[in-house]
Amino acid sequence: MVVLLHPSPSLSLAGPSDGSWTIMPPTSVDVSASHHFDLASAHEIPDSHYWAPPADEHPVSTETIHTLPVILLGLPDSALQAARALESWGVFLLANHGLPDAVFHGLEAQARRLFTLPANQKMRAARSPGSISGYGRVPISSFFSKLMWSEGFTVSGPTLPHALELWPNDPEPFVAAVEEYSSEMRRLARHVVGLVMHGLGIVGPTEEMEGVLQLNWYPPCPEPAQTIGMADHTDSGLVTILHQTSGSRGLQLLQARDDGPTRWVPVQPMKGALVVIAGDLLHVLSNGRLKNAVHRVMVNREAARLSAAYFCGPGVGVTVGPDPRLVDRELGPRFRAVTWAEYRRIRGELFQGAIDSIRLSAADADADADADADADGGRQENK
């Protein structure tokens, strides 16, 4: 199975004790049980988790309505509306998806069972060096000098080995819930990608796609304004399908506007709806037409927040580049083609600078456009 980004230690972001950060050489982060900080029992923010608001912090929208587009699967115009939503927002709420409530309830129950275990028991399933599977901090943590107010569990490959480490005598409920949820998400993700492609007027294979499930837990925080659940970032794959527990708040989307300043928009929960987020590779496939959404997660004092993110990307060896039908003949493609594995390696070094590293210059774009034109001409001659 293809796995999501596991950042390499070749680059990290570090900063002074005021919580700000800049690009600096990497530092290793000890995630052993002896260095594990139990967030659930905290009465104050330790320096390791203190984030000072940046000087250029964008304002947060105070709107309380459902701002994001809502896509109802099965409607005649759902494909076109989904593409338009990702073009303007990079995100939409997906309703009428057909997944039974029991699938979500089962996963939620087992995720809570996991995250409420004693810290030393959770550490039995800690990620091993060079692997993303298992318990630990969110994968992007290695790029920051400050830790985030969250913990996670990544499922990539077989679930049973880690479940046995956590519950030697009763792993089956966790395994069954995770595998059922992953199977349903795999099917839905392929459908959603196909829907968006149809809305763009292109057709491509969606069978060769793989995914990873990330469970995230954000315990109640004594001082929410002094830390962050997950720092702002984009996702590396094609789409992310996010489930949030009922009434769970904290997800925010960065919105650039023509009629006002860039702002953070809280994603208001909608009962029964999933959040679909466009990733970097969908941005590449659409030649920049669809937005790769920048998002973050804030925490609160009152209750823990649980989410399940299913990251979907192309299968092993599948190359993703701008679809020729979406490329202007005069301007050419904006990005070079990459596999998901190659792009993850680049992100492991450059993090959010990865997308710019595969951006083509005007000369490169012209050369690619000429090559495409020659190929089209050859195909015409061979008909």
Distances in Å between the Cα of 202 and the Cα atoms of 165, 278, 284, 325, 378 are 45, 17, 14, 7, 21
> How far is the C-alpha of 247 from the C-alpha of 153, rounded, in Å?
22
- What are the pLDDT digits (tens) for 62-110? 876 657 899 999 999 999 999 999 999 999 999 999 999 999 999 999 9
* 175 φ/ψ angles, rounded to the nearest 5 degrees: -60, -45
Give the domain ranges of the chain.
66-324
Q: CA 333, 279, 9: angle at the middle one, nearest 5?
A: 100
Task: Find, among 87, 80, 59, the residue nearest to 292 by Cα.
Answer: 87
Enumerate residues 6+ apart whose C-beta is below 8 A from 237.
Answer: 4, 211, 279, 280, 281, 282, 311, 312, 313, 340
pTM of the full predicted structure? 0.85
Task: Tokens 């990330």: give the residue.
Answer: 214
The pLDDT assigned to 126 comes to: 95
The pLDDT assigned to 33 comes to: 41
> How far is the C-alpha of 281 from the C-alpha of 90, rounded, in Å?
12
> How far is the C-alpha of 61 from the C-alpha of 24, rounded, in Å?
32
Chunk the chain into consecutive blocks of 10 residues (it has 383) and report each block's average pLDDT, rounded to whole numbers.
30 34 36 60 92 84 78 95 97 95 97 95 91 88 92 94 97 98 96 96 82 96 95 96 87 89 90 95 97 96 94 93 95 96 92 95 58 46 40
3-class DSSP assignment, residue 208: coil
The pLDDT assigned to 229 comes to: 96
Burial status of residue 301 (CB atoms within 10 A of its CB: 0-12, 13-18, 19 or more): exposed
The pLDDT assigned to 365 comes to: 55
- CATH number 3.40.50.2000 given to 66-324: no
Enumerate residues 6+ apart whose C-beta is below 8 A from 55.
Answer: none
> How far is the C-alpha of 92 from the C-alpha of 282, rounded, in Å?
14
Contact 319, 339 (CB under 8 A): yes
The pLDDT assigned to 116 comes to: 95
The pLDDT assigned to 100 comes to: 94
> How far is the C-alpha of 77 from the C-alpha of 73, rounded, in Å?
9
> How far is the C-alpha of 317 from the C-alpha of 260, rounded, in Å?
42
DSSP collapsed to 3 states, 253-271: EEECCCCCCCEEEECCCCC
